[in-house]
Structure 1
Amino acid sequence: MDSVEYDNRTVTRGALQYTGKAKQVFTTDDPNILWVHYLDQATALNGKVKETINGKGELNSAISQLLFNYLTENGIKNHYLGSISKTDELITSLNILPIEVVTRNYASGHFVSKFDAVAMQQLSPIVQEFYYKSDALDDPFMNDSQIIALGYATSDELSKLRYESLMINQRLTELFQKANIQLIDFKLEFGRTKNGDILLADELSPDNMRLVDITTGNSLDKDVFRKHSGDVTVGYHEVLTRLQQVI
């Protein structure tokens, strides 16, 4: 598939712009639109561990589509334009900020080991963290002054990232609770439009969230792959099914 109908016109896929951990991004004949293809690939340790998992790309795309549409309906601006196949989407072309915004509702992952925290303790206030987006450097933590000094974002933009992340957390927490799922923590990426507006970007899936079944305590996210504790697609299927039932 090289061309699709979108917004009453034909959009044609162009050159491969880059390949990420679980997605490929292509240019199109419209400079404001990119073409995303989800891969059947799981990674850990910032891409150092990779494995092909059949059907994962389709699951990620379906979950991401549901969540982006849900956030759009709830007033959160983002780059998602529409799904064009089971594994492909069109998105708004953005200048991605080299910053990952992590929101933590409960202590988990390296937060526990780094701060000697009690695993799964509820965090109050909600913790927000910034990381420099660099696999080669293992995504180091950054504070506000470092980000501003290096020109990665302005003070006003950081305030915007914090606010948007809290709003997204509120919306997603409410949604997942309806699906009997606890949103433990998640990572977001944002980008600038040509006009300088900040939009939510990347994807929204169990690849960049920790999700736990409220009843059983079982992981429904990529931790299953990281810990080699089972078939990661089982949890992804469960998340998709439950979201389809409550959205």
Structure 2
Amino acid sequence: MARRRLVYEGKAKILYEGPEPETLIQYFKDDATAFNAEKKDVIEGKGVLNNRLSEYFMSGLNSIGVPTHFIKRLNMREQLIRAVEIIPLEVVVRNVAAGSLAKRLGMEEGTALPRPIVEFYYKDDALGDPLVTEEHIIAFGWASQQDMDDMVALALRVNDFMSGIMLAVGIRLVDFKIEIGRVFDGDFQRLIVADEISPDSCRLWDIESGEKLDKDVFRRDLGSLTDAYTEVARRLGVLPRTGAGQAGPKLVH
């Protein structure tokens, strides 16, 4: 097999040149990072779980008319995706006060918000991905007003979809982060959901117990990250069941 050309390597994924023009292969690593990579570890099987979960969420969004970069899963760790021009912003939707929002505003973590709040963060690890306003975004040319309106609309549609499927399996969608990219069909630009949607990029709490089923398990040393992600996958039916209804995933590298 010919050696694939590496396009980009991030903290949790690697992008390779795809088999067709305007495509990429996205590889999910087992690396776990937190606090802008100040805390690092390798969690065996994490990439496999995130690949399967992101496939589940992206396919679901595609099926309801929310455009994403996802084309198909290739194997246990790789997806074929559409190449996009990533807008240098993280789009965060918050339903419940947690993390930096609770700390920044002095709110008790777990406080339900009166409505979903959409925030923008400038993608720059060296700066700690700072919170930015629409004025900053327009002034520095990162996105137009129309882009921001479209990004908010996309983010809220993702929130509706994700909140519903999580609620159905007893999980509260506290907040999540997405990235959005531009694609061009001739001279016409469209914005689509890119990167990944997984427990790495969401806060997920068990509705009954409040147990955390996301990367806060790693951030706060709350137990096994793989067990938490496996529980999300099991509830959603992403992983096969074995024996008496118990999940028995075999993580294949």
- Give the TM-score normalised by the residue count of structure 1: 0.92
Matches within 5 A, 1:43-54: 43-54=33-44
> In structure 2, what is the equivalent of residue 154 of structure 1?
144
- 1:106 aligns to 2:106 (yes or no): no
Which of 134, 157, 162 is 2:124 aligned to?
A: 134
2:53 maps to: 63
The question of 1:175 aligning with 2:175 is answered: no
Matched with 2:190 is 197
Equivalent position SS for 2:233 = helix
> Mapping of 1:12-31 within 5 angstroms?
14-31=4-21
Report runs of 4+ in structure 1 exceeding 4 Å deviation.
none
**Structure 2 residue 237 is the aligned partner of structure 1 residue 244:** yes
1:222 aligned partner: 215
Deviation at 1:13, TM superposition (A): 6.9
Check whether the contact 1:82–1:89 (CA below 8 A) recurs between aligned residues.
yes
Q: 2:22 aligns with which of 25, 29, 32?
A: 32
Amino acid at match of 1:186: F
> Which residue in the other structure is 2:250 paired with?
none
Per-residue deviation, 1:52: 0.6
Aligned-partner SS, 1:60: helix
Number of equivalent positions: 236
Shift of 1:17: 1.0
Instruction: Give the Cα separation in 2 of the matches to 1:132 and 1:185.
Output: 18
Structure 1: runs of 5+ lacking an equivalent: 3-11
Partner SS, residue 187 of structure 1? strand
What residue number does 1:9 align with? none
Distance 1:216 1:13 in 2: 48
Q: Partner residue of 2:78?
A: 88
> Alpha-carbon deviation of 1:31?
2.7
Q: Provide the C-alpha distance between the structure 1 equivalents of 2:126 and 2:107, rounded to a whole number of angstroms.
A: 27
Q: Secondary structure at the match of 1:197?
A: strand
In the TM superposition, residue 75 of structure 1 has moved relative to its aligned partner by 1.3
Q: Partners in 2 of 1:227 and 1:239 — Cα distance?
A: 18
Once residues 213 and 18 of structure 2 are traced to their aligned partners in structure 1, the CA distance between those partners, rounded to angstroms, is 34
TM-score scaled by length of structure 2:
0.90
CA distance in 1, matches of 2:11, 2:113: 29
For 1:135 and 1:116, how far apart are their aligned partners in 2? 25
Report how far residue 142 of structure 1 moved.
Answer: 0.9
Q: 2: distance between equivalents of 1:122 and 1:29?
A: 45
Give the unaligned 5+ runs of structure 2: 239-253
Cα displacement (A) at 1:118 = 1.8
CA contact (8 A) 2:199 2:213 kept: yes
Pairing partner for 1:122 from 89, 92, 112: 112
Identity of aligned residues (%): 37
1:211 correspondence with 2:204? yes
For the 8 Å contact 1:13–1:26, the answer to whether it is kept is: no
What whole-Å deviation, never above 9, does each CA across 1:187-245 have from its counterpart, x for those lacking one?
01000013321000000100000000111110000000000111111110000011117
Q: Which residue of 2 aligns with 1:8?
A: none
Whether the aligned pair in 2 keeps the contact of 1:13 and 1:29 (CA below 8 Å) is: no
